[in-house]
């Protein structure tokens, strides 16, 4: 492709001479008679070298140079001043205002071409540098993105791990206070009939009638409130315990995932039956996997209940399917609920993250599920369906030749722990 | 109050609040209740006083519930032991049952009737034994 050159020259004869001579040498020429016109052409076409006359009608060559240099997009234009002035201070003035080179009229075509070639070389190098810079930037951005992802993964893993370690101890520590909160409330409940009778008798005689009636009315709620609180804490604690149990490798048994799906759906029948239609497509040829059917069932129940909760008011639809995918089996669980907000979609695997109302969810279900699937060397992920609703995808490796089950160093910890408790 | 006329209980837990809560609850139900903070204290009390049922935690300083269970079965074979624990592991449970505990009730004891049932069941079993012993004694006397 011929190199493009812009000539800004008001004198028709000089213009013609330049055009003819340079075209003969194979350049693609753009012509302008004023500085303004030249700038317009430069903005429109990508032209590496401009030959600019000093004296022009309107803005002069110096001003053209200044404007080119002030324009970010024209930064790489190589400017050769074409002038009859050959006073040293004029030339310095030209270079200071942004020209890269100059040639004095009358010009010699060989010299001009040599200078044009220098310009093309400089612009070419600058261009190359720019591309390399861009590649480096892209690379840096990519590295940054990878680093961020990895960091997020690590933070998540650390949170899970510390929760596992923490929960083993904390679950026990929380159980004790919960025991005496709940137990005392239960004893007080047994006392209550006696207290109530006494209060009712008291109320008949005394001026405190109203207070006594109020206490008689409210105390059962208070006791119930205490017990509800204790029960809620118990649920969180038992969720936490599941974490500490993740140390133990899952049982390794041949496991028919279709059967696990069926059982899980049956378990969730009550939660689904009123507002959710279940569409089930289970691959009859689905190969078996090695793993813990109960744990995988727990994961599925979790996802089904989440879906049921998400679709609480509308005509819900739940699609459940299984299929083989190379060396994996794939379970898809999709719903037409509101989906998961993009802002929180990364956080849903974090322990204690929940979008359910206070007291309804512990925020442990999905992180436990993820732990279970990963312990099976599988993967679980979520996306939002374009039509709306969430789509969970679970991958689990197909059973290969049976390997000696879970003799890992991890089992040691559970034995150690069991001792001396 | 029901008719478990003063069967004697020992509550063993290093958490004083739980000691007191269970003691109060079972005293209200008509039992005679003592408390101890660990296995060693429990054994000292058992040496002084006949105790029908021991309710014990597992994780305690000095002497834990599983050791206590073993020693109780050696030294006081007639006493029943009910384990309460918030630390449920297979190994713990196996140890508890192998060493002859009646049952194991899990903390946080959201339903105390479970524990009540276990206690009254133990007391009933003991009464049954005592009746049989009495009958055996009368047989002996008749034989003489």
Neighbouring C-alpha atoms within 13 Å toward the C-beta of B6? 1
Class of the domain covering B8-143: alpha beta
**Is A257 in the same domain as A235?**
no
Among chain B residues, the shortest Cα distance to A175 is held by B108
Nearest Cβ partner for A230 among B24, B86, B110: B110
Rounded average pLDDT over A241-255? 67
Q: What is the pLDDT of residue B139?
A: 81
B138 to chain A, minimum CA–CA distance in Å?
41
Contacts of A421 in chain B (CB under 8 A): 58-59, 64, 66, 85, 87, 89, 92
CB distance B108–A234 less than 8 Å?
yes
Domain count within chain A: 3
**Is A234 in the same domain as A296?**
no
Global pTM reads 0.52
Residues facing A281 on adjacent strands: A321
Write the secondary structure of chain A as one string of H (helix), E (strand) and C (coil): CCCEEEEECCCHHHHHHHHHHHHHCCCEEEEECCHHHHHHHHHHCCCCEEEEECCCCCCCHHHHHHHHHHCHHHCCCEEEEEECCCCHHHHHHHHHCCCCEEEECCCCHHHHHHHHHHHHHHHHHHHHHHHHHHHHHHHHHHHHHHHHHHHHHHHHHHHHHHHHHHHHHHHHHHHHHHHHHHHHHHHHHHHHHHHHHHHHHHHHHCCCHHHHHHHHHHHHHHHHHHHHHHHHHHHHHHHHHHHHHCCCCCCCEEECHHHHHHHHHHHCHHHHCCCEEEEEEECCCCCCEEECHHHHHHHHHHHHHHHHHHCCCCCEEEEEEEEEECCEEEEEEEECCCCCCCCCCCHHHCCCCCCCCCCCCCCCHHHHHHHHHHHCCCEEEEEECCCCCEEEEEEEEECCCCCCCCCCCHHHHHHHHHCCC
- CA dist., res. B107 & res. B101, Å (int): 16
The last residue of one of the domains, among A187, A212, A245, is A245
A133, two tokens: 């810079």
Q: What is the pLDDT of residue A86?
A: 74
Residue A182's alpha-carbon distances to A47, A171, A304, in angstroms, are 83, 16, 31
Confidence band for A294, pLDDT divided at 50, 70 and 90? confident
Contacts of B22 in chain A (CB under 8 A): 183
Rounded average pLDDT over A103-121? 90
**Is A34 in the same domain as A99?**
yes
Per-residue pLDDT tens for A119-136? 999 999 988 998 999 999
The last residue of one of the domains, among A200, A215, A245, is A245
Q: Is the pLDDT of residue A251 over 50?
A: yes
Determine which of A111-115, A131-135, A362-366, B76-80 has the lowest per-residue pLDDT on average: A362-366
User: What ranges do the domains of chain B cover?
Assistant: 8-143
Element (H, E) at B85: strand B80-85
In a domain? residue A63: yes
Per-residue pLDDT tens for A231-243? 888 877 777 766 5
Q: Is the pLDDT of residue A22 over 60?
A: yes
**Is A383 in the same domain as A267?**
yes
B6, two tokens: 């003063």
Confidence band for A415, pLDDT divided at 50, 70 and 90? very low
Per-residue pLDDT tens for A131-185? 999 999 999 888 888 888 777 777 766 666 666 666 666 777 788 899 999 999 9
Q: What is the pLDDT of residue A406?
A: 42
Per-residue pLDDT tens for A207-227? 778 888 888 999 999 999 899
Among chain A residues, the shortest Cα distance to B26 is held by A187
- CA dist., res. A222 & res. A229, Å (int): 11
In a domain? residue A368: yes
In a domain? residue A116: no
Confidence band for A310, pLDDT divided at 50, 70 and 90? confident
- Asked if B86 has any chain A CB less than 8 Å from its own CB, the reply is yes
**Is A228 in the same domain as A372?**
no
Determine which of A95-109, A138-152, A331-345 has the lowest per-residue pLDDT on average: A138-152
Rounded average pLDDT over A33-39? 92
- CA dist., res. A139 & res. A145, Å (int): 10
Domain holding A225, by residue range, is 152-245
Is pLDDT larger for residue A381 or for residue A404?
Answer: A381
| ipTM above 0.90 for this complex | no
- Asked if B47 has any chain A CB less than 8 Å from its own CB, the reply is no
CB distance B110–A227 less than 8 Å?
yes
Nearest Cβ partner for A421 among B22, B58, B107: B58
Rounded average pLDDT over A6-17? 91
CB distance B108–A417 less than 8 Å?
no
> Residue A23 maps to which CATH number?
3.40.50.2300
- CA dist., res. A202 & res. A207, Å (int): 9
Element (H, E) at B141: helix B112-143
Q: Is the pLDDT of residue A89 over 60?
A: yes
In a domain? residue A134: no
Determine which of A56-60, A87-91, A359-363 has the lowest per-residue pLDDT on average: A359-363
Q: What is the pLDDT of residue A160?
A: 64
**Is A224 in the same domain as A325?**
no
Rounded average pLDDT over A368-381? 90
- Asked if A231 has any chain B CB less than 8 Å from its own CB, the reply is yes
In a domain? residue A22: yes
**Is A102 in the same domain as A79?**
yes
**Is A63 in the same domain as A46?**
yes
Sign of CA dihedral A352, A353, A356, A358: positive
**Is A236 in the same domain as A284?**
no
- Asked if A402 has any chain B CB less than 8 Å from its own CB, the reply is no
Q: Is the pLDDT of residue A27 over 90?
A: yes
Q: Is the pLDDT of residue A263 over 90?
A: no
Q: What is the pLDDT of residue A350?
A: 82
**Is A239 in the same domain as A285?**
no
Rounded average pLDDT over A393-420? 56
**Is A230 in the same domain as A260?**
no
Q: What is the pLDDT of residue A248?
A: 56
Q: What is the pLDDT of residue A236?
A: 77
Q: What is the pLDDT of residue B46?
A: 96
Nearest Cβ partner for A418 among B20, B92, B112: B92
CB distance A172–B87 less than 8 Å?
yes
Low-confidence ranges of chain B (pLDDT < 50): 1-4
Q: Is the pLDDT of residue A417 over 50?
A: no
**Is A236 in the same domain as A258?**
no
């Amino acid at each position: 492709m011929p190199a493009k050159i812009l000539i800004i020259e008001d004198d028709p004869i000089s213009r013609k001479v330049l055009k003819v001579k340079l075209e003969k040498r194979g350049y693609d020429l753009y012509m302008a008679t004023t500085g303004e016109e030249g700038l317009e052409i430069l903005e429109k076409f990508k032209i590496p070298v401009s030959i600019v006359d000093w004296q022009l009608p309107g803005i002069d060559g110096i001003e053209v140079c200044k404007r080119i240099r002030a324009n970010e997009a024209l930064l790489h234009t190589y400017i050769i001043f074409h002038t009859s002035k050959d006073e040293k201070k004029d030339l310095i003035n030209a270079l200071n205002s942004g020209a890269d080179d100059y040639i004095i009229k009358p010009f010699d075509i060989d010299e001009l071409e040599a200078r044009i070639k220098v310009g093309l070389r400089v612009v070419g190098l600058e261009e190359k540098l720019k591309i390399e810079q861009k590649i480096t930037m892209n690379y840096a951005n990519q590295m940054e993105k990878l680093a961020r992802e990895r960091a997020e993964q690590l933070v998540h893993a650390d949170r899970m791990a510390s929760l596992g370690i923490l929960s083993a101890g904390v679950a026990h520590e929380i159980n004790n206070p919960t025991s005496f909160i709940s137990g005392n409330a239960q004893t007080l409940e047994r006392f209550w009939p006696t207290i109530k009778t006494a209060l009712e008798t008291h109320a008949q005689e005394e001026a405190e009638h109203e207070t006594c009636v109020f206490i008689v009315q409210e105390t059962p709620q208070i006791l119930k409130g205490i017990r509800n609180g204790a029960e809620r804490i118990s649920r969180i604690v038992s969720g936490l315990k599941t974490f500490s149990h993740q140390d133990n490798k899952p049982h390794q048994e041949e496991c028919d995932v279709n059967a696990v799906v069926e059982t899980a759906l049956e378990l969730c029948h009550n939660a689904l039956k009123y507002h959710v239609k279940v569409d089930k497509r289970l691959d009859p040829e689905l190969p078996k996997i090695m793993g813990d059917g109960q744990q995988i069932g727990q994961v599925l129940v979790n996802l089904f209940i989440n879906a049921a909760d998400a679709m609480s008011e509308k005509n819900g639809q739940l699609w459940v399917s299984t299929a083989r995918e190379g060396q994996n089996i794939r379970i898809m669980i999709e719903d037409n609920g509101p989906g998961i907000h993009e802002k929180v979609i990364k956080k849903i695997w974090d322990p204690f993250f929940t979008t359910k109302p206070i007291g309804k969810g512990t925020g442990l279900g999905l992180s436990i599920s993820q732990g279970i699937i990963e312990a099976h060397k599988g993967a679980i992920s979520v996306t939002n369906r374009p039509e709306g609703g969430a789509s969970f995808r679970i991958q689990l490796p197909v059973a290969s030749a049976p390997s000696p089950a879970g003799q890992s160093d991890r089992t040691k910890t559970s034995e150690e722990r069991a001792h001396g408790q | 109050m029901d008719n478990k006329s003063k069967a004697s209980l020992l509550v063993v837990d290093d958490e004083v609040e739980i000691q007191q809560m269970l003691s109060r609850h079972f005293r209200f139900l008509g039992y005679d209740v003592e408390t101890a903070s660990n296995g060693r204290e429990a054994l000292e009390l058992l040496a002084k006083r006949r105790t029908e049922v021991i309710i014990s935690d597992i994780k305690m300083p000095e002497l834990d519930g599983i050791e206590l269970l073993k020693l109780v079965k050696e030294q006081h074979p007639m006493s029943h032991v009910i384990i309460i624990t918030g630390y449920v592991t297979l190994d713990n449970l196996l140890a508890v049952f192998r060493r002859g505990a009646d049952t194991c009730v899990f903390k946080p004891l959201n339903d105390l009737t479970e524990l009540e049932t276990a206690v009254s069941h133990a007391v009933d079993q003991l009464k049954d034994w005592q009746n049989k012993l009495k009958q055996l004694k009368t047989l002996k006397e008749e034989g003489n």
